[in-house]
Amino acid sequence: MLSEAVMASESGWRGAPVPEQRLHPAPPIPPRGALKTVATVMDLVTSYPLAARTRGGLTQAPAFSQLVEIDYVTSSPTDPGYSPVVAVLTLNHSNGPGELLRQAESLRAAGNRIALANVGESPASVAVLPLLQPDLIQINLPALQRQPDFQSSQTYNALSGYAEELPAVVLASGVTTEDDRLLAAAFGATLGEGTYFSSLADAQEPAGIRFAAEPRTTAPQTTPFLIAARRGQVATASRTQLLKTSHILETCAFDCDEATVVMSTFQKSTNLTPNTIELYSALARNLSYVFAFTHPVDISETSLQEIPDLRIHTFARHDPLSLEWDLIIVNARYQVLLAARENPESTDEATEFDFVVTHDRPTILSAAQSLTSYL
């Protein structure tokens, strides 16, 4: 950004939301030369000429020289001439991150890298970063400038931490002045986008964005306990002991900032006591995302579904997750995982669990990723 070298161009398919029945099957994301077909099917023909000119000028550019905003196209490309792109996704706050994560899975399976747009616009846009683990973080500079100092400092800490650990490229959008450019650099951005750079658009062939790591693969098809057991020391505990440990850790979540994710699995409705319901009601009010994973029958037997802002997801009785008691708390500066599995040799009168408690961040991020397939 500070050198003003042109690295990439961005195009997008925009327009009114497409009716649900037209999303299945969705047209493929951009096979070479097929933008007109995509635009026509999606009723976005007015967007096509700009996207086509952008694409046409990049045919000889290096890989990942184009960022493509994709709102509704989710299927994998089949064209042999397909060229991977950086797919720019946006968090839908009303639907939560489930749709976003499913879309990212499809795009990654096709060899694309993932960018998340408008990061910093809300605490939720920061909270979703460890679940999505984007290759490129596109921060909304105007939104950051409107925030009070304490909130922008929280965003700064989160961005700098995630950019280092993922690792991810940070791009600042909305750069219009020299002051904007300097502020973007202070937030850790190495790339900038905006009218400040418009005079450079036709002056250089894009050099392409360079990433420090290989493209990420899809989320692991496993469970939090299996991940933790491979990397931590497994101990044994009674149900009573696990209840006390869970309560201590859940209480720690109240010291976290709003850009925090809590993920909990519940084996049985008996675990959802009135005190637990009250505690998760408070967590859901204060944190960006609080997820509860349980069996549908257990939901009907409790008041769990009455908790506003609690995101409930289910699993089948035979699912490996049904044997587990998991709690994940993660944000930019704090993380903890309690992962337990019922010992098959224990009795109903004296249920015992094998369990792991860890603060190891890579282990916890992998465990959180394993639960995203249920969203």
DSSP string, 285-345: HHSSEEEEEE-HHHHHTSSGGGSTTEEEEE--TTSGGGGEEEEEEE-SS-EEEEEEEE-TT
Q: What is the per-residue pLDDT for 68?
A: 73
pLDDT confidence of 65, banded at 50, 70, 90? low
CA dist list (Å): 89 to 12, 34, 72, 277, 342: 11, 20, 10, 33, 38
Domain with CATH 3.20.20.450 in the chain: 9-200
- Options 3.40.50.720, 3.20.20.450, 3.40.1350.10, 3.40.630.10; CATH of 9-200: 3.20.20.450
Name the band, by pLDDT with cuts 50, 70 and 90, for residue 83. Answer: low
Q: Which helix (H) or strand (E) holds 181?
A: helix 178-186
Mean pLDDT of all residues in 19-30: 40
One-letter amino acid of 137: I
Of 18-27, 130-139, 171-180, 192-201, the one with minimum mean pLDDT is 18-27
Listed in order, the ranges of the chain carrying CATH 3.30.870.10 are 224-374
pLDDT tens-digit map of 272-330: 788 888 999 999 999 999 999 988 876 766 777 788 889 989 898 889 999 999 999 99
At residue 208, the pLDDT reads 72
Cα–Cα dist 297/319, whole Å: 14
pLDDT at site 261 = 97
Band (pLDDT 50/70/90 cuts) for residue 74 is very low
Q: H or E segment at 172?
A: strand 169-173
Beta-bridge partners for 66: 9
Q: Which long-range contacts (CB under 8 A, 24 or more apart) does 97-101 make?
A: 97/128, 97/131, 97/132, 97/289, 97/372, 97/375, 98/311, 98/313, 98/372, 98/375, 100/128, 100/132, 101/131, 101/132, 101/219, 101/372, 101/375
Mean pLDDT of the chain: 78
Fold of 224-374: Endonuclease; Chain A (3.30.870)
Average pLDDT over residues 127-152: 90
Q: Counting beta carbons within 10 angstroms of the beta carbon of residue 365, is it exposed (0 to 12), middle (13 to 18) or buried (19 or more)?
A: buried
DSSP 278-300: HHHHHHHHHSSEEEEEE-HHHHH
What pairs with residue 237 in β-bridges?
353
